[in-house]
Amino acid sequence: MSIDFWINVAVLAGIYGIFALGLQLNAGFTGLLNFGQAGFMAIGAYTVGLLVVNFGWSLWLALIAGIVLAVVAAVAVGISSLRLRADHFAIATIAFGEIVRYVLQNAQFSGGNQGVLGFDQEWRVFTDWLLGKLAIIGLDRYTQLPLFIVVWIVFAVMLIAISALQRTPWGRVLRGIREDEDATAALGKDIFAYKLQSLALSAALAAIAGFFVALNVSYLYPSVFDPTFTFFGYAIIVLGGYASYAGVAIGSLIFWALLEGTRLMDTALSAGQQASLRFVIVGLFLILLSRWRPQGILGNHEEMRVRS
């Protein structure tokens, strides 16, 4: 077993941790079942890729544009769908995510099935610079280390920032919406505006995660933004603890350690059977998790009520 393998797991855990922070804000703290997170991620990532490749933008400027566009998409989705019932909102957002994916696969501007390639020059320059510094302490042979460092710094900053935000009056109103929407409205709060802000912030986090996915894979392709990843995001927040931001980090690490670690099983089975077994294990884990520890590792049972 190698350190490289586990650096990769940590990178994925960091990326999908940022992704799941948004879901935690929506589902865990606002009671909003957003299942279109993979769609917002795709919008962020593709905006970056296309602006750099087709319009010669700087990678970092394109990142900002990606975040802005994901937020705009979230506002559009929110304005049209936030008035729906919670479960209908969930299905509408899944449909939104799938439409985004089909558009990226079939449209001309997005490179279609051939995807987008060659947007990461600036990132590679940065990586080489950082690896040069890491060489001083002899760590330059772990080539994924720069991505790991950047992802986890961003993740940590986001985690701290969003936790702080949660303690502001704004955060408390969100909680109030989750607990009792009508009572919060009776206090004169504009429920719709708060929900919209929650969704927009979540989409921004998804776009940042999408940016890192793009850097990790070095190739943008629609299937990377499959709705499965949104489901994974929910698994992460339940695992780490519902309505706990710190739980997202732990949940993401455990989830990806399980998902990727099961690749390393060495059995006498055929490759096909082993691959199947891997997902049977993951599936069983999800079932047992929701049965035995529904509130997750850092979660509180009292926080679990989501109105429908």
Q: Does 292 interact with another protein (rule: CB under 8 A)? A: yes
Contacting residues for 164 by C-beta, under 8 A, at least 6 apart: none
DSSP 138-206: T-TT-TTHHHHHHHHHHHHHHHHHHHHHHTSHHHHHHHHHHH-HHHHHHTT--HHHHHHHHHHHHHHHH
Q: Does 167 interact with another protein (rule: CB under 8 A)? A: no
Both tokens assigned to 289: 């998790």
Both tokens assigned to 253: 């690490």
Residues 115-144 that bind another protein (CB under 8 A): 115, 117, 143
Q: Does 21 interact with another protein (rule: CB under 8 A)? A: no
Distance CA 173, CA 190 (A): 10
Give the residue with the Cβ less far from another protein, 167 or 291.
Answer: 291
What is the smallest separation between the CB atom of 109 and another protein, expressed in angstroms?
15
Which listed residue (216, 244, 248, 249) binds another protein by CB under 8 A?
216
Give the residue with the Cβ less far from another protein, 185 or 306.
Answer: 306
Q: Does 188 interact with another protein (rule: CB under 8 A)? A: no
Angle ∠(212,213,215) on CA atoms, nearest 5: 60
Distance CA 177, CA 207 (A): 25
3-class DSSP assignment, residue 141 = coil
Binding footprint of another protein, residue count (CB under 8 A):
89
Give the residue with the Cβ less far from another protein, 132 or 283.
Answer: 283
Q: Does 291 interact with another protein (rule: CB under 8 A)? A: yes
Which listed residue (75, 86, 130, 165) binds another protein by CB under 8 A?
86
Distance CA 3, CA 32 (A): 38
Both tokens assigned to 184: 């919060």
Contacting residues for 263 by C-beta, under 8 A, at least 6 apart: 278
Angle at which helix 191-217 crosses helix 169-179, to 10 degrees, equals 100
Q: Does 5 interact with another protein (rule: CB under 8 A)? A: yes
Residues 40-79 that bind another protein (CB under 8 A): none
Q: Does 91 interact with another protein (rule: CB under 8 A)? A: yes
Task: Give the range of 43-51, 53-61, 185-193, 284-292 binding another protein by CB under 8 A.
Answer: 284-292
Give the residue with the Cβ less far from another protein, 63 or 250.
Answer: 250
- Phi and psi (nearest 5°) for 219? -155, 125
Distance CA 260, CA 255 (A): 9
Q: Does 102 interact with another protein (rule: CB under 8 A)? A: yes
Which listed residue (121, 168, 218, 302) binds another protein by CB under 8 A?
218
Q: Does 204 interact with another protein (rule: CB under 8 A)? A: no
What is the smallest separation between the CB atom of 5 and another protein, expressed in angstroms?
5
Helix/strand/coil percent split, the chain, to 5: 75, 0, 20
Which listed residue (21, 94, 191, 209) binds another protein by CB under 8 A?
94
Residues 222-281 that bind another protein (CB under 8 A): 223-224, 226-227, 231, 234-235, 237-238, 242, 250, 254, 257-258, 260-266, 270-280
Q: Does 177 interact with another protein (rule: CB under 8 A)? A: no
What is the smallest separation between the CB atom of 45 and another protein, expressed in angstroms?
11
